[in-house]
Chains A and B, each alone.
Chain A
Amino acid sequence: MGANLDINVKHLTRVEGHGNIVVNMTDGVLEKAQLDIVEAPRYFEAMLKGRSFHEAAIITSRICGICSLGHQMCSLQATEDALGLEISEQTVLLRKLLTHGATLQSNVLHAYFLAAPDLLSVGSVFPLVGTHPEVVIRALRMKRLANDIGDVVSGRAVHPITPVPGGFTRIPTEQELLTIKTRLEEEMVPDFLATVDTMEALAGAIPDFTRETEYISLRNDDEYALYDGDICSSDTGRVDPHEYRRMSNEHVVSHSTSKHCKVNRSSYMVGALARWNNNHDRLCDVSLQAAERLGLKPDCYNPYMNTIAQVVEAGHCALDSVAIIDKLLAGGLKDEQPNQEPTRYGTGVGATEVPRGILYHEYTYDRQARIVAANCIIPTGQNLANIDDDMKKLVPEVVDKSKEEITLQLEMLVRAYDPCISCSVHMLDVDFIE
């Protein structure tokens, strides 16, 4: 007689939003292995209708507390594409710098606060504050500097204010950028190298599991693509971002309030591991050396290694930020005004990499530059089908382990994707002490 297994993890911890893991195996036959999304859908797209092009990026940056910058960048790209707003090279460089800061912050926090507790078999980051305070302080120091990049370039780190359609309402000063550069070189780079040491000590606990899938990310000719580029599939190569619907195929499934996506197979993966697989040849040497030490090889098919890929690209974000600042300063900072004179009214697409993967925004504007239709496809939605497919392969492979071990391995799998099921609301829950 084959194994029987019945796992039902309600409201998985350390992921954003509400998702349940449901696994059912009877007599060795896997009947169900899936991540149920029970979060109520949020209607940002409906909220965008009727809004002016000035408002779109402000509203969409609130979709998410941590990906606010990515949503804003993608929204600005879509608006500029729809309205024919040309932007300067300086604007592109400043946006790339912001994107690096946001990626750094998110990757560092995920690795230290959300993934490391799994690798150390402690329930949360709090025990680590007691046992490894210097590591937690290092993580917070890296987060602060990443935040400060956002503060200097965009006015504030969360829900930035100065990036607008056509440019920036305020350009950082040379001194502000020099200060960030010095701190990147003197604080962030050593902290990154120490992070590699820490993660090398933990990497042995990463489960050995592989499932080859389709990997989708941005790719361009010049650099490790984060801010912009073509859509690149590991199966079929590069296409223009305007082809994004064909490269996502959102569809409804019964067990999820979030839509699923597929392209050339039943599922595909987006995020740091997809970026690594598609773009590792564009990373800086420091990141490539880190990858080698951490056992991350080109064409890695282990989804648990997504966390390692996040760490590896954090080093690239730090060093490329220095290079971007050098480029900005070499050209001399120009006090430009944003270009906000539409040259057309129509449909535009934005495609950018946020920490969890490729993000698409599409807006259609009327002749008053007001939105008549909007579509946003977020990375976590694109990964859901891939998570289900991973579970279906993983469960039979680990079925001889205890139910607790299997459950933990499934939870770690979902957390490795760093999913962001909903946007969060930070309400305090208070009991008064009588």
Chain B
Amino acid sequence: MKIFAVGNSFYGDDGVGAAVLEQISEAESFPGAELFDAHTDALSLLDHLAPGQLNVVVDAAEMGLPPGTVAGFRPEEVDLKIKSDHLSMHGFGLAETFAMARQLGSMPDNVLIIGVQPERVEIDQGLSPAVADAVPVVINLIKAEVQPDE
């Protein structure tokens, strides 16, 4: 299994993915899993997505839900909006990266995106309380994915 984080931990709740990876790493929650923090370079996922494995991607997601809400979904279950104004080098986001992976035929079959609704995404270190509370929820969701019977 590979677990990816996307986002900038200096932008408040955009750092939720990095916080999840840190927690997983400290608690050794998933021995053998490969952890990769893409930071703001979502395009680098193209080099790391692994076919034949479960690929979990944790990112802050604007879902129109209450802050801290956690949702797991498959890329095909949602309309990830490709934002033309995000098509700068910085803004090559997850939606654009997956679109390119599909076009290039390198999109793995087994991808789980875990979105966390942020409360505030602005320059600041640290998560808002609601999003910090969501970190263990994300980890439990990954556990449920890899150990569905427990």
Contacts and interface: CB of A to CB of B under 8 A. Distances in A.
Interface of A: 11-18, 42-44, 47, 59, 62, 64-66, 68, 106, 109-110, 113-114, 123-126, 129-130, 133, 136-137, 140, 143-144, 147, 156-159, 420, 423-433
B90 A65 contact: yes
B96 to A, nearest CB: 8
B79 A157 contact: no
Please provide the 5 A-B residue pairs with the shortest distance between their CB atoms, ordered closest to farther: A65-B40, A424-B90, A62-B10, A16-B88, A428-B61
A428 B77 contact: no
A409 B126 CA distance: 42
Quick one: which of B63, B82, B83, B90 has the most chain A CB within 10 A? Answer: B90
14 contacts: A11-B85, A14-B85, A15-B88, A62-B10, A109-B89, A129-B100, A130-B103, A157-B44, A420-B90, A425-B14, A426-B94, A427-B61, A427-B62, A429-B62
B121 A123 contact: no
Contact of A426 (B8, B63, B79, B87): B8
B84 interface: yes
Nearest to B76: A433
Nearest to B46: A140
Interface of B: 6-11, 14, 37-44, 46-47, 59-63, 73, 77-95, 99-100, 103-104, 113, 115, 118, 121, 123
A106 B73 CA distance: 32
Nearest to A125: B87
A147 B92 CA distance: 15
A74 to B, nearest CB: 17
Given A126-B99, A129-B104, A426 B83 contact: no
Contact of B95 (A65, A157, A429, A433): A429
Nearest to A15: B88
A73 to B, nearest CB: 17
Contact of A14 (B6, B7, B84, B95): B84
Nearest to B57: A428
A143 B45 CA distance: 12
A430 B72 CA distance: 12
Contacts of B95: 428-429
Given A123-B84, A425-B121, A428-B80, A133 B7 contact: no
Given A62-B10, A113-B89, A136 B104 contact: yes
A427 B7 contact: yes
Nearest to A13: B84
B44 to A, nearest CB: 6
A257 to B, nearest CB: 14
Contact of B44 (A64, A114, A129, A147): A147
Quick one: which of A13, A59, A68 has the most chain B CB within 10 A? Answer: A13
B79 A433 contact: yes
Given A14-B84, A43-B123, A158-B39, A426 B78 contact: no
Contacts of A59: 10
Given A65-B39, A129-B103, A432-B77, A427 B14 contact: yes
A66 B38 CA distance: 12
Nearest to A18: B85
Contact of B43 (A42, A110, A143): A143
B94 A16 contact: no
Nearest to A148: B47
Given A126-B100, A158-B44, A426 B88 contact: no
A36 to B, nearest CB: 15
A14 B39 CA distance: 20
A426 B89 contact: no
B6 to A, nearest CB: 6
Nearest to A58: B10
Given A158-B41, A432-B73, 16 more contacts: A14-B87, A14-B88, A16-B89, A16-B90, A65-B39, A66-B40, A109-B89, A126-B103, A129-B103, A133-B104, A423-B11, A424-B91, A428-B61, A428-B113, A428-B115, A429-B81
